Structure 1
Amino acid sequence: MAERTLADELAAFAAGTDFPDLPAEVTDDVGGRVLDVLGLCVAARTLPTSQAVLEYVAEQGGAAQASALGHGLPRLPAAQAALANGVLAHSLDYDDTHLPSVLHPSASVVPAALATAELAGADGAQTVRAVALGLEVAVRLGMAGYDRQAGNSTFFEHGQHATSICGTLGGAVAAGVLLGLDQEGLRDVLGMAASTAAGIIESNRTGGTVKRLHCGWAAHSAVTVAQLTARGFTGPPTVLEGRFGFFEAFLHGTYTPTEITEGLGTRWAVPEIFYKPYPANHFTHAAVDAALELRARGLAPERVESAVLGAPAPVLRTIAEPIEQKRTPETGYQAQFSGPYAIAAAFCGPGNGLGVTLADYTDELARDPRRRDLMSRVEVVPDDRATEIFPLQFPATLTVRDTDGEVWYAEVLANRGGPGRPLSPAELGLKFRDNTSGTLSREAAEATRAAAGRLAELPDLRPLLDPLITVPGPLPDTHSPYEGR
């Protein structure tokens, strides 16, 4: 008898876990994940990259199977809808994060699951099951590539985007269960998905918008390979640990198989995924919280003489270097990766939403003289205690000397939105309403929020998705940019 492989383990878990087997905390959590992704898709609809991908999928045409959200497009082939929604879900750096793997699982898995659920005519309970299984697979694969001794992801050290790579396999499992694949079929879908997984993070260093494509391509690949597997394509049973398999190809054979197998089906990672309360790089969130705390205690930005932000040493290259550039971001996107700007946004903004919102991260505000003045007085340094906790959390300390010589101090050792400081359903609803404000009517937003709250009870996904399909705004221009060339 052949030895049971890691793909066998994951396939048996997915095939053998029905909706009634899911713990209540998992089923409750999935509705929030879906709502979060839907709000992000609506919020990202006006970005040039969003317009580009929506124009592209509209131009392709094809079978009317699933919905690209936010533009009133005709229904599209499921893989094309997953592509569009996955791009939008990841485009604002506002999607959830698993720690310490530092991958963003929902932006790939949820679009893949929703598109396939529409294709298959699945009900809410089937969709919840698929999302839960896909998220669990993605996270466990990400953790298998996490080096606990080094405190870092081996994927990232190799320049690979664990989010889209592991998200492809997780999304494929979600799509596969919705298409009714059995255990052998789910093993094949993992074998297929591994050959389509991709994502290189050089754009984090030197620019480009390709990172926004990663989760969309992962969702597109996931739906595609699930449909092809249902039609008879197969994959290698040793796709993960084999000599020329996933872990050898991506991680040079350095991985921890027990991260996949231990507690599989009994210990769930899904409820431990961190929501993002703020639309910025996750390394800056504790800085926002610390500044909001000092502001609530009565410290006004005009009274800040100097400020020292303490952060884990490994994150300084992302949020603090080079410091003069981080103090003078030119765009809202650059501001999302700036420790000094996180302090300025928390002190100077109106405090809407959960504290800072997308409206705080515009190109204009990145160059706002008042915020620039405050940023010029912020120093960012490594903090030993924060470094010790990282990457289980992304802590921060903030020490401010005011114009009267008084010293103010705040420390945030656990991230808001994680298991230690969870967002309540009301707070998730507030984030959703903020992301859809000005686009969805109050009635449409409330209809989707209510549907997500009872997702497992829905006979189909129409109550969840229909309010988001035909929002105000022009349809993408389907005129091909290549015509006449």
Structure 2
Amino acid sequence: MSTYVQRFAQFAAGCREDGVPEAVRDDVTGRVLDVLGNCLAAYAEPDGDAAPAVLRAVRRWNGTQEATAIGSGLRLPAPSAALVNGTLAHALDYDDTHLPSVLHPSAPVVPAALAAAEATGAGGDDLLAAVAAGVEVCNRLGMASYLPEARNSLFFEKGQHATSICGTLGAAVAAGMLFGLSEQGLADALGIAASMGSGVIEANRTGGTIKRAHCGWAAHAGVNAAVLALEGLTGPPTVLEGRFGFFQAWLDGRYDAEALTSGLGERWELLRTVYKPYPTNHFTHPGIDCALALRGRFDPADVEDVELGVAAPVLRTIAEPREDKVRPRSPYHAKFSAPYTVAAALLGGGGLGLSLDDFAELDPARLALAERVRCVADERASEIFPLAFAAVLRVRLRGGEMLEHRVDSSRGGPEHPLSAGDLATKFRVNAGRALPAERIEALVAAARRRAPAAELLPLTISSP
């Protein structure tokens, strides 16, 4: 009987040798473009501090120039490039989400794969297969942590950042495939990576910029795990299910074995990963949808109070502690505030509803309205969560009139996926913050014809 990492290694080796279905390749192409667009927008962010800090740190390390840091064009060792690009990918909280695990799988896996592919000169189809396998492993690990009785991921219940923990293993799979690891080598890379994943999510609640670097560190650790396996380091074959393994260490031994490997290679969890229309924490999206639906139907000056009903488990992230959420510490912290994002959607918004420009600074009018937003648990939203993100918004005006709007699946979610046009708009707006139009179109064309990373990444620099 093979162990879980051996099954994942067999799956990944099969993806490299036999390829992945056309629908999966097409899906991954879009995810690579989404990550590149998010990275470019983050690189151009004037108030960003996490990515520049990471870039300054890796400049100290030096090493072999193997891969490109997106935007800057700095040539770095592959693990360092993965660290920078993974940080950029997650810095704006605009990255894709898998449900019900509530993971952001592309942000750690794509940067790791791009760095390894560029370092090894791998072709475009090899890159896409590696991303597909890495994201699938990441999502499966997240699915194994979802407890139906709790209607939540046990990672999140314990304050752990599932994306950075599971993403480290997904990144190791993707990088290991591109470094040419054998099936045993891939199993070893997974065993090594299981000792490297980390991340706690208190920054979602009370601030700090470390969360922006979580996906960068996962990408960095995944590439390092693959390199260490390539050089002969080995990992325990029972690293996931063992008495002192991954599931025991992180989840107290509770996990869904069927979700982990059932239908692996036939039913793709990757295809259930959805895109974000707004650059904010995903739990805020249904409230934003409700606010956008009501915007323009009243004078904001007439608002007496606002009640937002959301799933009970998300209150800890977007509503508590209240004093921090109604007066966020920074524009980035505001992205994790239900009161502020509702106020922003009621008072303005651009792009696909709310844009990066809405979080360029903390707006006094929005802060004043956020003070009048109360967040409560909504039974219907709680029942739906986390299969979809739902909310109800009730706005009471000074004259006594009550306006209400409910959504059972936020825009971009399983019931309302973004269109191809929406995704194209998102990418071009994001990339346009850092690149001229002709460079953007060259990047789109290269991605769509499945160009290798060595051709894609130089196009993320504004000039040759």
Decide: shared fold, TM above 0.5: yes
Is 1:412 matched up with 2:407?
yes
Judging changes above 3 Å, is the alpha-carbon distance between structure 1 residues 411 and 187 closer, same or farther for their aligned structure 2 residues?
A: same
**Number of residue pairs aligned between Structure 1 and Structure 2:** 461
1:461 aligns with 453
> Partner of 1:389 in structure 2?
384
Distance (Å, rounded) in 2 between the aligned partners of 1:327 and 1:354: 24
Q: What's the offset of the Cα at 1:127? A: 0.7
Query: Is this contact kept in 2: 1:19–1:125, CA < 8 A?
Result: no
Distance change (3 Å), C-alpha of 1:378 and 1:19: farther
Question: What are the residue-to-residue correspondences of 1:130-279 with 2, within 5 Å?
Answer: 130-279=130-279
Which residue does 1:482 correspond to in 2? none
- 1:338 corresponds to 2:337: yes
Residue 468 of structure 1 deviates from its aligned partner by: 0.9
Q: Which amino acid aligns with 1:380?
A: C
Q: 2:440 aligns with which of 418, 436, 445?
A: 445
Q: Deviations over 1:116-163 (max 9, x none)?
A: 010111111111100000000001011112222111222223332211
Once residues 126 and 288 of structure 2 are traced to their aligned partners in structure 1, the CA distance between those partners, rounded to angstroms, is 38
The 3 A distance-change label for structure 1 pair 423 and 454 is farther
Q: How far apart are the structure 2 equivalents of 1:60 and 1:321?
A: 39
Q: Work out the CA distance in 1 between the residues paired with 2:206 and 2:300.
A: 32
Q: Is the 8 A contact 1:310 1:397 kept in 2?
A: yes
Equivalent in the alignment of 2:318: 319
How far did residue 203 of structure 1 move?
A: 3.2
> TM-score if structure 1 supplies the norm length?
0.90
Structure 1 Cα separation of the partners of residues 206 and 406 of structure 2: 32
User: What is the CA RMSD across the aligned residues, in angstroms?
Assistant: 2.0
Residues 350 and 358, structure 2, Cα contact 8 Å, conserved in 1: no
| Structure 2 portions without partners, runs of 5+ | none
Q: State, as a whole percentage, how many aligned pairs show the same letter.
A: 56
Which letter does structure 2 place at the counterpart of 1:41? C
Cα deviations by residue, 1:80-126 (Å, 9 ceiling, x for unpaired): 10011111111222211212212211111000000001011111111
CA contact 1:189–1:229 (8 Å) conserved in 2: yes
Q: Gaps (5+ residues) in structure 1? A: 473-485
> Within 1, Cα distance between the matches of 2:16 and 2:263?
17
Q: How does 1:12-51 map to 2 (within 5 A)?
A: 12-18=10-16, 21-45=19-43, 46=45, 47-51=48-52
Amino acid at match of 2:73: G
- Cα deviation, 1:194-229, whole Å, max 9, x if unaligned, reads 122222233334443222222111111111111221
Tell me what 2:85 maps to. 85
Residues 86, 219 of structure 1: 8 Å contact kept: yes
Maintained 8 Å contact 1:330/1:363: no
SS in 2 for 1:379: strand
Letter in 2 for 1:149: E
- Report the AA paired with residue 146 of structure 2: Y
> What do residues 421-450 of structure 1 show as CA deviations (whole Å, max 9, x unaligned)?
111222112112222334211111222223
Which region of structure 1 is more displaced relative to structure 2, 195-204 or 231-240?
195-204
Matches within 5 A, 1:330-369: 330-349=329-348, 351-365=349-363, 368=364
Whether the 8 Å contact between 1:172 and 1:189 is mirrored in structure 2 is: yes
Alpha-carbon deviation of 1:21? 4.7
Counterpart CA distance in 2 for 1:282 and 1:53 is 24
Residue in structure 2 matched with residue 475 of structure 1 by the alignment:
none
Shift of 1:386: 0.7
Aligned to 2:70: 69
